[in-house]
Amino acid sequence: MDLQDCYRLLGLRSGASFADVKASYRRLVQQYHPDINPDDLKAKDKFIAVNEAYKFLQMILSPEEIKPQSHDLKTHVSGFSEVKTQVTTANIKVTSHPANLQDIEQRLKWKTYEQLQRFLQARRFPQAIALAEALLARLPADVEVRQWLAIAYQIWGQALITEKQFPKARIYLKKALKTDPDNKALWSEVQQDFQRLGV
Quote the CATH superfamily of domain 3-61. DnaJ domain (1.10.287.110)
Band of residue 94 on the pLDDT scale cut at 50, 70, 90: very low
| CA separation for the pair 60, 144 (Å, rounded) | 19
Burial 58-81 (b: 16+ CB within 10 A, else e): eebbeeeeebeeebebbebbeebe
Task: For domain 101-197, give the CATH number.
Answer: 1.25.40
Q: Could you read off the pLDDT of 141-190 as tens digits, one per residue?
A: 888 889 989 999 999 899 999 899 999 999 999 999 999 998 888 888 88
Dist. CA 53–CA 47, nearest whole Å: 10
- Look up the pTM and report it: 0.52
Q: How far apart are CA 13 and CA 70, in angstroms?
A: 32
Locate the domains of the chain by residue range: 3-61, 101-197
Terminal Cα-to-Cα distance of the chain (whole angstroms): 36
